[in-house]
Amino acid sequence: MKKSSTWIDAYGAEYSADRLTLLEGPQIPDLSEYRIQEGVKIIDEGAFNNNTALQSIDIPDSVTKIGYYAFGECTSLQSINIPDSVTEVGGGAFWGCTSLQSINIPDSVTEVGGGAFWGCTSLQAINIPNSVTEIASDTFNECISLQSITISNSVTKIGDYAFMNCISLTNIKLPNSIKEIGGNAFHNNTSLQFIDIPDSVTKIGEGAFSCCKALQFVNIPQSIKVIEARTFMGCKSLSNVQLPESLVCILSAAFLGCVSLTTIDIPKNTWFYSEYVFADCTSLQSVRFFTLHHHCWPPASAFAGCSALKEIVIPRGDKNVYKLLQIIYKVKLIEM
């Protein structure tokens, strides 16, 4: 069937005149299965948007691109096989596919757009192939059933909010290829217990692990020079943190509300001047500074609400500089 410059199949799906692009999915109500025409190269933006009846889709191996929001809010779609011909999965391509339990991403795919699987609340496992170099922002945001993820050693960056609110993820192994972890990348991963950050990582964004309430231990590598604002804020189970000697500064509220933290050592090269860095760490009893930067010493708010704080260990000869902290927090100053 023809309609102006397009072609329409028996199910009401609209294709470009040359049949290389699927413009709009089938129009038959309650159609649960559909096979895209052979020879199609592009599934256009929003082609199946809000098709709530579709449970199964057959994509031919001629397709090279799945467009932006192509299957957005296909809430009955349970599984999908992406053929080896596909090189690009557009942003939000499967956004809100709440019944999608499994999906394969073949090695042919080199780009997965931001928010591609945002809100796929039934998705349990995912494998990132060797062809992908970046996990874009919001890619798996709100994937609340995601328990297992394999990240290949081709990936160099995890974008902002990439795994935000993945509340079923208990652990994740980051490959040595990762150089950057974006802001809020793992925010509110409430089941995450351990994270080993490889030496390849040079930047961890603001709030990257904030509100990871089950996180008990984190390894911060020597490659990190700055702990950004709110990086570990609200990590209520975090009891062991070893700050690297490479650390230059710790920014605002980085460890605010880490109520299980009992001791902390501030490395000798670290500038400590931001507000509320360890505020409300109610179990914190001892803080040790190895060097004091006289022009950049901790503000009074740095330990606000640290009701268990008993002592601050400081370099010999610097006692007068720390006198204000002793007065405010009523703690013992001990010279090393």
Q: Report pLDDT digits (tens) over 4-22.
A: 689 999 999 999 999 999 9
Q: Side chain identity at 182, as an amino acid letter? A: G
Q: Side chain identity at 91, as an amino acid letter? A: G
**Average pLDDT over every residue of 158-175:** 96
Q: What is the pLDDT of residue 167?
A: 98
Q: Are 76 and 53 in contact (CB under 8 A)?
A: yes
Is 91 inside a domain boundary? yes
Is 298 inside a domain boundary? no
Better pLDDT: 274 or 161: 161
Counting other chains too, the contacts that 107-113 makes at CB distance below 8 Å and 24 or more residues apart are 107/131, 108/84, 109/82, 111/87, 112/136, 112/139, 113/68, 113/88, 113/89
**Average pLDDT over every residue of 306-314:** 90
- As a whole number, the mean pLDDT across the chain is 92
The number of distinct structural domains making up the chain is 1
Q: What is the pLDDT of residue 2?
A: 45
Asked whether the CA dihedral 43, 47, 50, 55 is positive or negative, the reply is negative
Give 93-109 pLDDT, tens digit per residue.
999 999 999 898 999 99
Percent of the chain with pLDDT over 90: 79
Q: What is the pLDDT of residue 17?
A: 96
Angle at the Cα of 103 from the Cα atoms of 97 and 107, rounded to 5 degrees = 135
Q: What is the pLDDT of residue 293?
A: 60
Is 251 inside a domain boundary? no
Longest dimension (CA), the chain: 89
**Average pLDDT over every residue of 253-262:** 98
Give 32-63 pLDDT, tens digit per residue.
999 999 999 999 999 999 999 999 999 999 99
Q: Are 193 and 169 in contact (CB under 8 A)?
A: no
Q: What is the CATH number of the domain that holds 137?
A: 3.80.10.10
Is 204 inside a domain boundary? no
- Which of 118, 162, 171 is closest to 143 using CA atoms? 118
- Which of 138, 91, 126 is closest to 111 using CA atoms? 91
Give 313-325 pLDDT, tens digit per residue.
877 766 666 677 7
Is 268 inside a domain boundary? no
Sheet strands side by side (includes 6-8):
2-3, 6-8, 14-16, 21-24, 42-43, 65-66, 88-89, 111-112
Asked whether the CA dihedral 56, 78, 25, 51 is positive or negative, the reply is positive
Is 87 inside a domain boundary? yes
What domain range includes position 149?
1-155
Q: What is the pLDDT of residue 184?
A: 98
Q: Which residues are CB-neighbours of 163 under 8 A, at least 6 positions away?
A: 139, 140, 141, 143, 146, 149, 169, 172, 185, 186, 189
The 3-class SS string of the chain reads: CEECCEEECCCCCEEECCCCEEEECCCCCCCCEEECCCCCCEECCCCCCCCCCCCEEECCCCCCEECCCCCCCCCCCCEEECCCCCCEECCCCCCCCCCCCEEECCCCCCEECCCCCCCCCCCCEEEECCCCCEECCCCCCCCCCCCEEEECCCCCEECCCCCCCCCCCCEEECCCCCCEECCCCCCCCCCCCEEECCCCCCEECCCCCCCCCCCCEEECCCCCCEECCCCCCCCCCCCEEECCCCCCEECCCCCCCCCCCCEEEECCCCECCCCCCCCCCCCCCEEEECCCCCCCCCCHHHHCCCCCCCEEEECCCCCCCCHHHHHHHCCEEEEC
Q: What is the pLDDT of residue 180?
A: 98
Is 35 inside a domain boundary? yes
Per-residue pLDDT at 1 exceeds 50: no
Is 134 inside a domain boundary? yes
Q: What is the pLDDT of residue 254?
A: 97
Per-residue pLDDT at 297 exceeds 90: no
Phi first, then psi: give them for residue 244, nearest 5 degrees: -75, 155
Per-residue pLDDT at 291 exceeds 80: no
